[in-house]
Amino acid sequence: MRSAPTILHLDMDAFFAAAEQAAKPSLRGKPVVVGGLGPRGVVATASYEARRFGVHSAMPMGQARRLAPNAAYLVPRFAFYRSISDRVMELLRELSPLVEPLSLDEAFVDLEAGGVADDSAGARAAGERLRDDILAATGLTGSVGLAGSKMIAKIASEEAKPDGLVVIEPGTEKELLGPRSARILPGVGPATGEHLRRAGMATVSDLAEAGEDELVRLLGRAHGASLYRMAQGHDERPVVAERDAKSVSVEDTFDVDLHDRVRIRTEVERLAERCVGRLRSSGHSGRTIVLKVRRYDFSTLTRSETLRGPTDDPGVVREAAGRLLEAVDTTGGVRLLGVGVSGLADYTQEDLFAQAEAEAGAGAEPGGGEGVGEGPGAEEPGTAGGPGATVEEAAGPGAAGTVERHWSPGHDVRHAVYGAGWVQGSGLGRVTVRFEEPWSAPGRVRTFSVDDPELVPAEPVPLVPGGAVP
C-alpha cells in the first residue's frame, strides 16, 4: 500500500449519453438513453436526467421506455465514442506512462510513475488539472478518485460522481470499507454476494471479522485469501500499462428468433468476415475459432476449434465457424450469434497444409465459457438493425432488386440543402431529421422520404467548430 494517494481512477460521467448531448444541442439538459432499440434491447447508458426516472444501464429498453416515455432513445455510435476516448487517453498519458484503460470511459493512472505527484497535494492538483483538460478538449466531464490502491481509487471516483474529485488518504481504508456492502469489493458479484449473505456476511467488516480461514473454506484458497486482504483494505495490484487482448469477437442479437438454417449459416459467415476485419485491424492472427449461439430459451452454447497455426484468413475462419455450427442444434430458434478468434499472435501462420487440414474437417471440441469476446479487442455487442448498425442500404424483404434505406436514431446525416443533422426517427417510409451542430442553437426538425436522394449518411460532426472529431 502506498503512503500517498497517487493512484488515480478516472470514470467519464454517463459517457455515451453525455457524448450525444454534447453533439446534439437539442438534447442538453434532457433525458437521453443509449442502447439497443429492438424488443430485446438493453440500456447501455442513461443520462443523469434519465436516471432521475429510475432508468439505469443493463435495464431492458422496454422498461426504460415505461419509466421515461419522453426521453430521447438513440442507438450507440461506437466509432464516435472511441474517437473521444482516444483523446481522453492521450491526456492521461501526458500525466504518466502507466495508464491502464478498463473501457472506453474508464482508466487507472499511476501518478507517481509519471513524476507528477508524490503527496496528497500534488495528486489533487494533477486530478483537478486533468478534469479541466478533459472538459476543454471534449466538452465532457469526468469524475476522479485518488487513493493509495486501485480498489480504493475506484471507490473514490464513484463517490465523486458526477463531475467531482475525491481523495481517500492511505491509512483510512479499513474504516471507510467496514460498513459498506461486501459487493463493493472486486470479485464479489451477485452469486458470491448471496453466498456470503447466507453465511451471515453482508458487510466488509463482516468479512474481516470472519477471518481468512472461514473465507477460504467458503470460497476456496485463492478467492478467499484475496477477499480477506481486500476486506482489510489491502490491494497491491499495480497499474499495468498494457492489457493484451485475449480475443477478438463480434456478435449480433436478433429482434426476431432465426429459424431458417440457411439464414443462420449466412449470419455466421457474415460475422466471421467482420471478426477477421477486426482481427487484421488490430495486427493479430489467432489459432482458436469460437462460435457462440444463444437459443430461444436463453441457453448459450460455445464451441471452439483450434487450428495448427494462427491465421487471419477470412476463408479459414468462415469455414471453421461453419463447421462448428453444424454441431449445434438450432431447433426452436436462435436469438444471438457470435464468432470470435482467440489464441492471438502478432504473425500469420503460412503453413498452408495446416489450413487445408483444418478446412478438410478437423473435429470441433466443446468451448469454454460464455465470454467469447473478453479483452480490449472485443467488439461491442450489437443488435442487427439496432445498436451499432450504421445507416446503410439493404435489400428489402422479398423483392429482388428492391432497395430500402434504413436510418438509425441518433446517427449522422447530411442533406444537400439543409446541411448536417441527425436522425430522430423513421417509419412508414419517412425519416425525421433534426438539423443542428454541436456549437449551434437547437435546430429545426424536417421530414423526408427514406429514399430522398439528397439525404445521405455522414461522418460525426466535430464537437468544436473547424476541428476534427475529438
**Domain span holding position 30:** 1-240
| Amino acid (1-letter code) at residue 363 | G
Please report the pLDDT score of residue 464 as a whole number. 60
Whether 441 is covered by a domain: the verdict is: yes
Please report the pLDDT score of residue 384 as a whole number. 33
Angle at 81 between CA 79 and CA 82, to 5 degrees: 65
* Residue pLDDT tens, the chain, 470 long: 788 999 999 999 999 999 999 999 999 999 999 998 877 788 999 999 999 999 998 899 999 999 999 999 999 888 899 899 999 999 999 999 999 998 889 999 999 998 988 899 999 999 999 999 999 999 999 999 999 999 999 999 999 999 999 999 999 998 999 999 999 998 788 888 899 999 999 999 999 999 999 999 998 888 899 999 999 999 988 998 866 667 889 999 888 889 999 999 999 999 999 999 888 877 788 889 999 999 888 788 899 998 877 888 899 999 999 999 998 889 889 999 999 998 887 655 443 333 334 433 333 333 333 222 323 233 333 333 333 333 333 333 334 444 456 798 999 999 999 999 999 998 889 999 999 999 899 999 999 999 999 999 998 887 765 444 44
Assess whether the previous peptide bond of 162 is cis (omega < 30° from 0). yes
The x, y and z cell numbers of residue 38, run together, are: 429492438
Phi, psi (rounded to 5 degrees) for 228: -65, -40
Question: Does residue 257 share a domain with residue 216?
Answer: no
Please report the pLDDT score of residue 386 as a whole number. 33
User: Which domain CATH number covers 452?
Assistant: 2.30.30
Question: Does residue 78 share a domain with residue 103?
Answer: yes
- Residue 106 annotated among the catalytic residues of the structure: yes
Instruction: For the chain, give the longest Cα–Cα distance.
Output: 72
As a residue count, the chain comes to 470
Question: Does residue 91 share a domain with residue 218?
Answer: yes
Beta-sheet strands, E only, within 96-164: 99-103, 106-110, 142-147
Residue 131 burial (10 A CB sphere; 0-12, 13-18, 19+): buried
Question: Does residue 184 share a domain with residue 40?
Answer: yes
Question: Does residue 11 share a domain with residue 93?
Answer: yes
Whether 117 is covered by a domain: the verdict is: yes
Q: What is the CA radius of gyration of the chain?
A: 24
Whether 166 is covered by a domain: the verdict is: yes
Give yes or no for a contact between 156 and 168, defined as CB atoms under 8 angstroms apart: yes
Question: Does residue 283 share a domain with residue 190?
Answer: no
Whether 358 is covered by a domain: the verdict is: yes
Give yes or no for a contact between 271 and 249, defined as CB atoms under 8 angstroms apart: no
Question: Does residue 126 share a domain with residue 10?
Answer: yes
The x, y and z cell numbers of residue 270, run together, are: 457474415
Using DSSP's 3-state secondary structure scheme, residue 418 falls into coil
Last residue of a domain, one of 323, 346, 375: 375
Question: Does residue 217 share a domain with residue 83?
Answer: yes
Question: Does residue 302 share a domain with residue 252?
Answer: yes
Whether 53 is covered by a domain: the verdict is: yes
Question: Does residue 259 share a domain with residue 317?
Answer: yes
Residue 423 burial (10 A CB sphere; 0-12, 13-18, 19+): buried
Compute the distance between CA of residue 289 and CA of residue 312 in angstroms, rounded to an integer.
11
Run of H or E residues at 360:
none
Give yes or no for a contact between 363 and 271, defined as CB atoms under 8 angstroms apart: no
Whether 265 is covered by a domain: the verdict is: yes
Question: Does residue 153 share a domain with residue 11?
Answer: yes
Please report the pLDDT score of residue 242 as a whole number. 66
Please report the pLDDT score of residue 245 as a whole number. 64
User: Which domain CATH number covers 317?
Assistant: 3.30.1490.100
Residues 6 or more apart in contact with residue 4 via CB below 8 angstroms: 112, 117, 118, 119, 120, 123, 148, 170
Last residue of a domain, one of 204, 220, 240: 240
Compute the distance between CA of residue 144 and CA of residue 46 in angstroms, rounded to an integer.
20
Question: Does residue 325 share a domain with residue 191?
Answer: no
User: Which domain CATH number covers 104?
Assistant: 3.30.70.270
Whether 382 is covered by a domain: the verdict is: no
Last residue of a domain, one of 343, 375, 407: 375
Compute the distance between CA of residue 317 and CA of residue 290 in angstroms, rounded to an integer.
9
Give me the catalytic one of 20, 49, 100, 106. Answer: 106
Q: How many domains does the chain have?
A: 3
